[in-house]
Amino acid sequence: MLAKDLISDVVPALRTSDTGLRALNWMEIFRVSHLPIVNNKDFLGLISDTDIYDLNMADEAIGNHKLSLFSPYVVADTHIYGVIEIVSRLKITVVPVLNARKEYLGLVTMTDLMGHFAELTAMKNPGGILVLELHENDYSLSQIAQIVEGNDAKILSLYISSPSESMKMELTLKINRTDLSSIIQTFERYNYIIKSTFMVDEEMDLFYNNRFEEFMKYLSM
Protein backbone atom coordinates (compact mmCIF):
# COMPACT_ATOMS: atom_id res chain seq x y z
CA MET A 1 0.00 0.00 0.00
CA LEU A 2 1.63 3.22 -1.22
CA ALA A 3 1.19 6.90 -0.37
CA LYS A 4 -0.49 7.62 -3.72
CA ASP A 5 -3.22 5.10 -2.78
CA LEU A 6 -3.87 6.81 0.57
CA ILE A 7 -4.50 10.36 -0.69
CA SER A 8 -7.64 11.98 0.73
CA ASP A 9 -10.45 12.82 -1.69
CA VAL A 10 -11.90 15.59 0.47
CA VAL A 11 -9.28 17.59 2.38
CA PRO A 12 -8.17 20.62 0.31
CA ALA A 13 -4.88 22.49 0.23
CA LEU A 14 -4.58 26.18 1.08
CA ARG A 15 -3.42 28.96 -1.24
CA THR A 16 -1.44 31.98 -0.12
CA SER A 17 -4.54 34.11 -0.83
CA ASP A 18 -6.63 32.16 1.71
CA THR A 19 -7.14 33.74 5.11
CA GLY A 20 -6.15 32.29 8.42
CA LEU A 21 -9.83 32.07 9.31
CA ARG A 22 -10.53 29.87 6.29
CA ALA A 23 -7.60 27.65 7.27
CA LEU A 24 -8.91 27.31 10.83
CA ASN A 25 -12.42 26.53 9.57
CA TRP A 26 -11.12 23.79 7.29
CA MET A 27 -8.96 22.37 10.07
CA GLU A 28 -12.01 22.16 12.31
CA ILE A 29 -14.20 20.60 9.61
CA PHE A 30 -11.64 17.94 8.67
CA ARG A 31 -10.31 17.48 12.21
CA VAL A 32 -6.68 18.16 11.42
CA SER A 33 -4.16 20.57 12.95
CA HIS A 34 -2.11 21.15 9.77
CA LEU A 35 -2.80 21.99 6.14
CA PRO A 36 -0.44 22.35 3.16
CA ILE A 37 -0.03 25.64 1.33
CA VAL A 38 0.14 25.11 -2.43
CA ASN A 39 0.51 27.53 -5.33
CA ASN A 40 -0.46 25.78 -8.55
CA LYS A 41 1.41 22.50 -8.03
CA ASP A 42 4.22 23.94 -5.89
CA PHE A 43 4.17 22.73 -2.29
CA LEU A 44 5.28 25.63 -0.06
CA GLY A 45 4.99 23.93 3.31
CA LEU A 46 2.63 23.05 6.16
CA ILE A 47 0.87 25.59 8.35
CA SER A 48 -0.59 24.66 11.73
CA ASP A 49 -3.42 26.11 13.77
CA THR A 50 -0.77 27.21 16.31
CA ASP A 51 1.01 29.21 13.59
CA ILE A 52 -2.19 31.10 12.80
CA TYR A 53 -3.02 31.83 16.44
CA ASP A 54 0.55 32.89 17.25
CA LEU A 55 0.67 35.37 14.34
CA ASN A 56 -2.82 36.71 15.06
CA MET A 57 -3.58 36.50 11.34
CA ALA A 58 -7.09 35.03 11.23
CA ASP A 59 -8.56 37.80 9.07
CA GLU A 60 -5.59 38.26 6.76
CA ALA A 61 -4.29 36.32 3.76
CA ILE A 62 -1.69 33.74 4.68
CA GLY A 63 0.65 35.12 2.03
CA ASN A 64 0.75 38.53 3.76
CA HIS A 65 2.94 37.07 6.49
CA LYS A 66 6.47 35.77 6.42
CA LEU A 67 6.00 32.23 7.64
CA SER A 68 8.65 29.84 8.86
CA LEU A 69 7.02 26.81 7.27
CA PHE A 70 8.42 23.33 7.51
CA SER A 71 8.01 21.14 4.49
CA PRO A 72 7.73 17.44 5.32
CA TYR A 73 6.42 15.22 2.55
CA VAL A 74 6.52 11.72 1.10
CA VAL A 75 6.79 10.75 -2.54
CA ALA A 76 4.00 8.90 -4.27
CA ASP A 77 5.56 5.43 -4.04
CA THR A 78 6.38 5.61 -0.30
CA HIS A 79 5.08 2.54 1.55
CA ILE A 80 2.42 3.08 4.23
CA TYR A 81 5.01 2.26 6.90
CA GLY A 82 7.06 5.23 5.71
CA VAL A 83 4.00 7.47 5.97
CA ILE A 84 3.32 6.23 9.51
CA GLU A 85 6.94 6.86 10.45
CA ILE A 86 6.89 10.51 9.37
CA VAL A 87 3.56 11.15 11.13
CA SER A 88 4.96 9.67 14.34
CA ARG A 89 8.35 11.38 14.16
CA LEU A 90 7.09 14.88 13.28
CA LYS A 91 3.77 14.77 15.19
CA ILE A 92 1.77 16.00 12.19
CA THR A 93 -1.86 15.27 11.34
CA VAL A 94 -1.48 15.31 7.53
CA VAL A 95 1.32 14.24 5.20
CA PRO A 96 1.68 15.93 1.78
CA VAL A 97 2.35 13.61 -1.16
CA LEU A 98 4.54 14.79 -4.06
CA ASN A 99 5.47 13.19 -7.37
CA ALA A 100 8.99 12.67 -8.70
CA ARG A 101 9.01 16.27 -10.02
CA LYS A 102 8.16 17.55 -6.51
CA GLU A 103 4.66 18.54 -7.64
CA TYR A 104 1.86 18.40 -5.08
CA LEU A 105 -0.54 15.46 -5.55
CA GLY A 106 -2.58 15.57 -2.34
CA LEU A 107 -2.31 14.63 1.29
CA VAL A 108 -2.82 11.70 3.66
CA THR A 109 -4.67 12.33 6.93
CA MET A 110 -4.03 10.49 10.17
CA THR A 111 -7.66 9.31 10.20
CA ASP A 112 -7.40 7.78 6.72
CA LEU A 113 -4.04 6.32 7.67
CA MET A 114 -5.62 4.48 10.60
CA GLY A 115 -8.35 3.05 8.36
CA HIS A 116 -5.80 1.69 5.90
CA PHE A 117 -3.63 0.41 8.75
CA ALA A 118 -6.62 -1.60 9.99
CA GLU A 119 -6.88 -3.23 6.57
CA LEU A 120 -3.15 -3.89 6.48
CA THR A 121 -3.22 -5.70 9.82
CA ALA A 122 -6.34 -7.75 8.94
CA MET A 123 -8.29 -6.29 11.86
CA LYS A 124 -11.59 -6.78 10.05
CA ASN A 125 -10.94 -10.42 9.23
CA PRO A 126 -12.45 -13.03 11.57
CA GLY A 127 -9.95 -14.88 13.73
CA GLY A 128 -8.14 -14.94 17.04
CA ILE A 129 -5.24 -13.03 18.55
CA LEU A 130 -2.25 -14.68 20.20
CA VAL A 131 0.49 -12.70 21.98
CA LEU A 132 3.81 -14.46 22.60
CA GLU A 133 6.61 -13.24 24.85
CA LEU A 134 10.08 -14.35 23.85
CA HIS A 135 13.73 -13.43 23.91
CA GLU A 136 15.04 -11.71 20.79
CA ASN A 137 17.52 -14.53 20.21
CA ASP A 138 14.70 -17.11 20.24
CA TYR A 139 12.66 -15.43 17.52
CA SER A 140 12.18 -17.70 14.50
CA LEU A 141 9.40 -16.74 12.14
CA SER A 142 9.73 -19.99 10.21
CA GLN A 143 9.16 -22.08 13.33
CA ILE A 144 6.25 -19.91 14.48
CA ALA A 145 4.61 -20.19 11.07
CA GLN A 146 5.18 -23.97 11.08
CA ILE A 147 3.42 -24.30 14.42
CA VAL A 148 0.40 -22.31 13.25
CA GLU A 149 0.16 -23.98 9.86
CA GLY A 150 0.70 -27.41 11.43
CA ASN A 151 -2.63 -26.84 13.17
CA ASP A 152 -4.42 -26.13 9.87
CA ALA A 153 -4.43 -22.37 10.41
CA LYS A 154 -2.79 -19.34 8.81
CA ILE A 155 -1.19 -16.15 10.10
CA LEU A 156 -3.15 -13.18 8.73
CA SER A 157 -0.82 -10.55 10.19
CA LEU A 158 1.82 -10.10 12.86
CA TYR A 159 3.78 -7.34 14.47
CA ILE A 160 6.54 -7.05 17.03
CA SER A 161 6.88 -4.67 19.98
CA SER A 162 9.99 -4.44 22.13
CA PRO A 163 10.28 -2.50 25.40
CA SER A 164 13.25 -0.15 25.39
CA GLU A 165 16.46 -1.51 26.92
CA SER A 166 15.08 -5.04 27.02
CA MET A 167 16.05 -8.22 25.22
CA LYS A 168 12.45 -9.47 25.40
CA MET A 169 9.86 -8.89 22.72
CA GLU A 170 6.14 -9.37 22.23
CA LEU A 171 4.95 -11.00 19.04
CA THR A 172 1.27 -10.43 18.25
CA LEU A 173 -0.28 -12.88 15.78
CA LYS A 174 -3.65 -12.54 14.06
CA ILE A 175 -4.73 -16.06 13.11
CA ASN A 176 -7.65 -17.05 10.88
CA ARG A 177 -9.28 -19.21 13.59
CA THR A 178 -11.17 -18.15 16.69
CA ASP A 179 -10.48 -21.43 18.51
CA LEU A 180 -6.76 -21.29 19.26
CA SER A 181 -6.67 -24.14 21.79
CA SER A 182 -4.61 -26.59 19.74
CA ILE A 183 -2.24 -23.86 18.57
CA ILE A 184 -1.68 -22.70 22.15
CA GLN A 185 -0.94 -26.27 23.25
CA THR A 186 1.63 -26.67 20.48
CA PHE A 187 3.36 -23.39 21.35
CA GLU A 188 3.52 -24.48 24.98
CA ARG A 189 5.09 -27.80 23.95
CA TYR A 190 7.83 -25.78 22.26
CA ASN A 191 8.25 -23.77 25.49
CA TYR A 192 6.84 -20.53 24.15
CA ILE A 193 5.37 -18.15 26.73
CA ILE A 194 1.76 -17.27 25.93
CA LYS A 195 1.25 -13.77 27.31
CA SER A 196 -2.40 -13.38 26.28
CA THR A 197 -5.07 -14.67 23.92
CA PHE A 198 -8.24 -13.16 22.45
CA MET A 199 -10.72 -15.55 20.90
CA VAL A 200 -14.29 -14.31 21.40
CA ASP A 201 -15.91 -11.24 19.90
CA GLU A 202 -15.99 -9.21 23.13
CA GLU A 203 -12.32 -9.90 23.80
CA MET A 204 -11.40 -9.07 20.20
CA ASP A 205 -13.28 -5.75 20.35
CA LEU A 206 -11.50 -4.84 23.57
CA PHE A 207 -8.14 -5.85 22.12
CA TYR A 208 -8.61 -3.78 18.96
CA ASN A 209 -9.83 -0.77 20.93
CA ASN A 210 -6.80 -0.96 23.23
CA ARG A 211 -4.38 -1.39 20.33
CA PHE A 212 -6.04 1.47 18.44
CA GLU A 213 -5.70 3.76 21.47
CA GLU A 214 -2.07 2.73 21.97
CA PHE A 215 -1.29 3.39 18.31
CA MET A 216 -2.99 6.79 18.38
CA LYS A 217 -1.07 7.74 21.53
CA TYR A 218 2.14 6.62 19.80
CA LEU A 219 1.40 8.82 16.79
CA SER A 220 0.56 11.84 18.95
CA MET A 221 3.54 11.60 21.34
pLDDT class for 25, splitting at 50, 70, 90? very high
- At residue 220, the pLDDT reads 52
d(CA 147, CA 151): 7
CATH classification at residue 208? 3.30.70.260
**What tens digit of pLDDT does each residue of 49-105 get?**
988 888 787 788 888 776 667 889 999 999 988 888 898 888 899 999 999 999 999
- At residue 61, the pLDDT reads 87
pLDDT class for 207, splitting at 50, 70, 90? low
- At residue 190, the pLDDT reads 93
Residue 205 reports pLDDT greater than 60: no
- Calculate Rg over the CA atoms of the chain: 22
Q: Count how many domains the chain has.
A: 2
Residue 150 sits in the same domain as residue 203? yes
Residue 39 sits in the same domain as residue 90? yes
- At residue 198, the pLDDT reads 79
Residue 13 sits in the same domain as residue 105? yes
Q: Does residue 136 belong to any structural domain of this protein?
A: yes
Q: Does residue 115 belong to any structural domain of this protein?
A: no
- At residue 84, the pLDDT reads 85
pLDDT class for 209, splitting at 50, 70, 90? low
Q: Whole domain around residue 146: which residue ranges? A: 121-220
Of 110, 139, 162, the position where a domain reaches its end is 110
Residue 42 sits in the same domain as residue 104? yes
Residue 202 sits in the same domain as residue 138? yes
Residue 98 sits in the same domain as residue 138? no
Looking at per-residue confidence, does 63 or 155 come out higher? 155
Do 111 and 163 meet the contact criterion of CB atoms below 8 Å apart? no
Q: Does residue 116 belong to any structural domain of this protein?
A: no
- Helix (H) or strand (E) holding 28, with range, is helix 20-30
**What tens digit of pLDDT does each residue of 9-23 get?**
999 999 999 999 999
Task: Give me the chain's average pLDDT, please.
Answer: 84
Helices then strands, counting H and E runs in the chain, come out as 7, 9
Residue 97 sits in the same domain as residue 15? yes
Residue 218 reports pLDDT greater than 80: no
Residue 216 sits in the same domain as residue 125? yes
Question: Which pairs from 64-70 meet CB under 8 Å and 24+ separation?
Answer: 69/37, 69/44, 69/45, 70/45, 70/46
| Range in 5-19, 97-111, 122-136, 142-156 the model is least confident about | 122-136
CATH classification at residue 31? 3.10.580.10
Residue 170 sits in the same domain as residue 92? no
pLDDT class for 121, splitting at 50, 70, 90? low
DSSP-derived 3-state class of residue 177: coil
| Range in 5-19, 27-41, 111-125 the model is least confident about | 111-125
Residue 18 sits in the same domain as residue 59? yes
Looking at per-residue confidence, does 164 or 47 come out higher? 47
